[in-house]
Chains A and B, each alone.
Chain A
Amino acid sequence: MSLNFDPSYALEFDFGRGQIRMANAGERVVIPCDALLALCQGASEHAVRDFGRRLGTEAGRVMNDRLGEAWQASLETVLEHLGGELALMGLGSLGLERWGQALVLSFSDSPLGFAGDLLLGSVLEGAMQRSFGRDTVAIKLMRDDQKVRFLLAGHAGASKVGNWLAQGVPWGDVLSRLATRGAS
């Protein structure tokens, strides 16, 4: 199990056949970002979530193929390889934050922007499901011009966090409350 992600020969452009293939994966299609966003905005939330989870599942599968035993991988290893696969998809730079016991994943410099947050969260859920066999809910904590943060929590915790955020509680306080309630 290599710590560093090696993107060499990750993509293969077959100009004769007009195809793009990813290593250890199938064909890829390079499409404009605006067209993808338009498709996501025109589709239902369920369809976007399903589309994102399929993307995350593919990334988790490839990461598992690279890592072998992903359940034993450290935080850095998972971040390096999963982030590398998502970067090859062009979804942005993956980040990992640990707030106590809470796991927070973030995307920086995503070309999808604010309209692609739902898709990105779904990608993370699909990757967790495919890599670690856990049903997770990615809740968007905050969003600014460059970074969007998602809290990976269970269904119960995601419900509480959603309520707090709807009440206007800052996302830092939400994590504090969640840590306090969880500890107690």
Chain B
Amino acid sequence: MNQEVERLQELLARVRRNAALPRTLISASMPEPSAPVHDTPPVAYAAPAYTAPATEFTAEQVFFESEPPPPPAAQTSAPLDASVDELLLEDPFPSVRPGPSYSDVLEEEPIPLVNVASPHALDAEEDVSGVMSISELSDEQPEELLEDDIVEMTASEAELSSVNDSLDELSFDDDDDLADKRSAPLSDAEPPASSSRSKIAGTMDEALARAAEQIQLEEGREIPLKTPPPESGPQAAVALPAGMHAPLSPDIEELLEADIVPSGVQATAPTTEQLGQTIDLEDARGPSLELDQPAPFIPEGLQEDLVNEELEVTLPGREFAGGYQDDLMLPPEARQELEAHQQRLNEDSVAPPPESLAQYPGPQPEAALGGFAPAIAPASVTTDSYSEGVSTVTVDAPSNVDFAPELLARPDRGPTSVAKFIRNEVPRPKTFMELLDSSLSLGSD
């Protein structure tokens, strides 16, 4: 029991020491399991066996799907409270100092905290540096890596060349599609489209040349336009490559002209359908009439005002009221009326004498023919009053009248009472008893 405790303490100390070491090399080239798997085949100090999740990729999906599986995220550091397997298996390529060798680790075997049972005995001579490839987990023969599969390393990683050499000697089986799919990221020959990972250029010239190639590839590549499904949610807008641009907004005026004027037909020339319904009109007969807007007549007195006030027009003064042009021609139909009016004015030039109720009416040509001859012109008219209320008018009759009329006027009278209303006052009873008795007597015969 004490020994186990000591081993665990040593193991913990080593784990902490490893965790404290700086890491500069991204371990994305080697897929890391997301969680420790306890029921997998025991592999001590190596990558645990790959267990297919529920959404396992098939070979068809790998080869025919447009999008490759997402690359594993780069692991930066492992937490201290992670399991022992995770701590041991993380970052197999430390940049500063390589981890413990397989032999060192093997000496500390077995680790009792992890219940693993290795069906295959590890070969101590196999130089895997604590890393086992997936192809090995699948019990398949290794395959030699192609040149494209070889990861290019920078000078800072030169000290890890020995480890890479051992990886180059590993071979992968082509028969195992799954192994190929998993080994594809390992080769790092062509990064996936969604991956931002790129090869690191050794020199500046190489980097420039690669950048130029990348630009040419992007210009020549056609990005398929995909309509996202409605359930896909919001997506980031995809920047269009150079040379491609969104369709410009149409010009409204051009569209309107296209609607009005059909294509291929000039705007000035009518169509055949329009000519079929057109009736040619004859030319106008008679003299040609040209209408022109006459110049407005502005009196001389207003011209200065117009200049001064511009658009404001001052009403004409009194001297312009009723003025007309003397050179206006009299209309022919009004000429006769004007002559008749002037003739009447000449005939009525002598005003007749005024008439009143006290005089005989003026001479009437029709009355002169009858037997009742009126007085033509009275000599004098006098008015006498015999009393206060009656006024008598005496008229000097003409010589040819048989009798003289006498005109009487109604005398003036002041306001007088023409009727008298008598109010029958009932004597007020002194006592209630009297009133009651009088009321009881009403209606009795």
- Residues of chain A whose beta carbon lies under 8 Å from any beta carbon of chain B: 70-75, 77-79, 98, 100-103, 128, 132, 134, 136, 151-154, 156-161, 178-179, 181-182
Contact = CB atoms under 8 A, between A and B. Distances in A.
B443 A101 contact: no
A75 B440 contact: no
Given A101-B438, A136-B436, A71 B431 contact: yes
A75 B435 contact: yes
B426 interface: yes
Contacts of B344: none
Contact of A160 (B428, B438, B443): B443
Interface string B409-445: 0000000000000000010111111011111111111
B443 to A, nearest CB: 3
Nearest to B428: A98
Nearest to A178: B442
A132 B436 contact: yes
A102 B439 contact: yes
A101 B430 contact: no
B429 to A, nearest CB: 7
Contacts, number: 79
A74 B429 CA distance: 8
A157 B436 contact: no
B442 A101 contact: yes
Interface of A is mostly: helix
Nearest to B440: A154
A156 B444 contact: yes
Contacts of B428: 98
Contact of B442 (A73, A98, A153): A153
Contact of B432 (A74, A154, A161, A178): A74
Contacts of A72: 431, 433
Nearest to A161: B443
24 contacts: A70-B432, A70-B433, A72-B431, A74-B430, A74-B431, A75-B429, A75-B431, A77-B432, A78-B432, A98-B428, A101-B426, A101-B442, A102-B439, A103-B435, A128-B436, A134-B437, A153-B439, A154-B441, A154-B442, A154-B443, A157-B440, A159-B443, A178-B443, A179-B442
A73 B438 contact: no
Nearest to B432: A78
B99 to A, nearest CB: 110
B431 to A, nearest CB: 6
A157 B435 contact: no
Interface of B: 426, 428-433, 435-445
Contacts of A159: 443
B443 A182 contact: yes
A157 B432 contact: no
Pick from B430, B431, B433, B442 the residue with the most CB of A within 10 Å: B442
B327 to A, nearest CB: 86
A61 to B, nearest CB: 16
A154 to B, nearest CB: 4
Contact of B433 (A71, A136, A178, A179): A71
B209 to A, nearest CB: 115
Nearest to B427: A101
A70 B429 CA distance: 15
B441 A182 contact: yes
B345 to A, nearest CB: 74
A156 B442 CA distance: 8
Contacts of B429: 75, 98
B440 A136 contact: yes
A75 B431 CA distance: 6
Nearest to B445: A156
A124 B444 CA distance: 21
Contacts of A74: 430-432
B271 to A, nearest CB: 88
Closest 8 CB pairs of A and B: A157-B443, A103-B439, A78-B432, A182-B442, A101-B438, A154-B440, A156-B444, A157-B442
A21 B439 CA distance: 35
A179 to B, nearest CB: 7
Contact of A152 (B426, B430, B440): B440
A100 B425 CA distance: 9
Nearest to B443: A157
Contacts of B433: 70-73, 132
B439 A152 contact: yes
Contacts of B438: 101, 103
A157 to B, nearest CB: 3
A71 B431 CA distance: 7
A154 B444 contact: yes
B443 A73 contact: no
Nearest to A135: B440
Nearest to A155: B444
Contacts of A73: 431-433
A102 B432 contact: no
Contacts of B432: 70, 73-75, 77-79, 132
B93 to A, nearest CB: 110
A156 B439 CA distance: 11
A153 B443 CA distance: 8
Contacts of A161: 443
Pick from B431, B436, B439 the residue with the most CB of A within 10 Å: B439
